[in-house]
Amino acid sequence: MTQVYFTEEHEWIAVEDGIGTIGITDYAQHALGDVVYVELPEMGKTVSRGKEAAVVESVKAASDVFAPVSGEVIAVNTGIVERPGQVNEAPEGDAWFFKLRLSNAGELAALMDRGQYDEFLKGLE
């Protein structure tokens, strides 16, 4: 069963069988505006929780995408490099950024579930 977690930096991670799929939230894409460029990590790269893993640029700003957990990058979504606007269309779906094999599943405990994330967003209004 897939479990989805969120960070205070507006990344999401969907975890199933020790593999995490990572992207930015709908809130993040709204804040960014029209996405015009995406830079993804290299396959095989080891990323650390809370450290920069990818970059997303919009007409307004450039933002780092941080790794919600540590692990090895095992897949990247080249479709969003070719069509960055997909990030605005389906940020929590087909426009995922990368997948990684978790190196420490215990790090998930520091993340929020959907209900906690929704409450966190209310505090930002």
pTM beyond 0.85: yes
Q: How far out from the chain centre does Cα 25 lie?
A: 7
- The HSE-up count of residue 117 (CA atoms within 13 Å, CB side) is 20
Structure confidence by residue, pLDDT tens digits, 48-100: 999 999 999 999 999 999 999 999 999 999 999 999 999 999 999 999 999 99
Task: Residue 40: name the closest of 2, 3, 74 by CA.
Answer: 74
Structure confidence by residue, pLDDT tens digits, 106-122: 999 999 999 999 999 99
Q: From 1.10.10.10, 3.40.630.10, 3.40.50.720, 2.40.50.100, which CATH number describes the 3-122 domain? A: 2.40.50.100
